[in-house]
Amino acid sequence: MPHLIFGAGSIGTTATSFTYTWDTPAKVAALLTELRRLGLCTLDSAASYPPGNAWNTETLLGQAACLSGDSFRLMPFIIDTKVLVRAGEPFLSDALVDASISHSLALLRVSRVRTLYAHANDGITPLAGQAAALDRQVRLGRCAQYGLSNYAPADVASFFDICEEHKYIKPAVVQGMYNALRREAEDELLPLLRRHGCAFYAYSPLAGGFLTGKVTAAKDRQDGAGRRGEGPPGELLRTRWHGASAFPPYLKIYDTPAMHAAVRRLQAVCAAADPPMTTQEAAMRWLLHHSALTDTDDGVIFGAKTVEQIRTNVAEMRRGPLPEAVREVVDGLWATTRKPKTAAKNSKASL
């Protein structure tokens, strides 16, 4: 089964963004204890986390380490982080990469992380300059390896070529959006990574919560409520799907008739299964046991808002392959939701 990685972007707090549970050092320390108990020992962090409040996640992680003393440092956590995104700036230049990882290490109270990611292509720094900057951090010992996140397949291919030409260390892992409704990675990116022996970590396995069915259910209710002059469904407040915390890229991708229809098909087959299962269980089990991810190197980054959610999600994910009837429906969703291919563009959907 692919590795399970906990998305640390749910640690922290912002004024208008999502509802956060782990917003104090004590709460974070308790979370880490529970993650360890469940065998989840890899954290996917970023200088820009949580969205809208850069450095807060890593500040709290470091404070939790201090609060817990030596016992925390002995916990077998693997930490990955990402370079701080600076809008309109060459944040992947050597100087800004150096400044970002230096500050992350100081906040986390560690001497190095496992993986340092470029969170996205900054569109300013040439790829050769980005490769040189990331290569240098590995050679300095500040990270064991580096990776790329949200890069177009063509840019990843160019990155590998540049590294081979200049004898730079190659990216060890690439992160990208991948779930039952969005499988573009299978077309070009995954075959490219396999040729170079590079791992793939899938983020947004539940499409930002869309695959739980709550967005479709709320929309169906709101369609009727709107005719009666009622307001938006309360369960979507402080989520990616409504109000100040709404994330436009996800709304554009998922809030479409085809996507809602796909969720309804999934809900129907999950309700008819014996025993019945939730749509999120079906989506996660498909990703771990039936998708194009490999068992040895690839991973799935998932998040949660409560410890109870983590426990439930992990238990569901570890139940093994899906019943054939459910698998067939999940396999077929992509054919109904994919759009005609267009020119590849850099994506910053997870920022």
Catalytic residues: 49
If you ran DSSP here, which 8-state letter would residue 17 be given?
S
Which residue carries 């995104």 as its tokens?
85
CA distances from 320 to 1, 239, 283, 287, 316 (A): 9, 29, 12, 11, 8
If you ran DSSP here, which 8-state letter would residue 194 be given?
H
Which residue carries 């992380």 as its tokens?
113
Pairwise CA distance, residues 183 & 132, whole Å: 31
**Residue count (the chain):** 351
Residue 314 is which amino acid? V
Pairwise CA distance, residues 90 & 18, whole Å: 28
Q: Which helix (H) or strand (E) holds 173?
A: strand 173-177
Which residues are CB-neighbours of 201 under 8 A, at least 6 positions away?
5, 44, 147, 173, 174, 175, 176, 298, 299, 300, 301
In angstroms and rounded to an integer, the radius of gyration of the C-alpha atoms of the chain is: 20
Identify the burial level of 345 via C-beta atoms within 10 angstroms of its C-beta, where 0-12 means exposed, 13-18 middle and 19 or more buried.
exposed
Tokens describing residue 224: 């009727």
Q: Which helix (H) or strand (E) holds 252?
A: helix 248-254
Which residues are CB-neighbours of 99 under 8 A, at least 6 positions away?
84
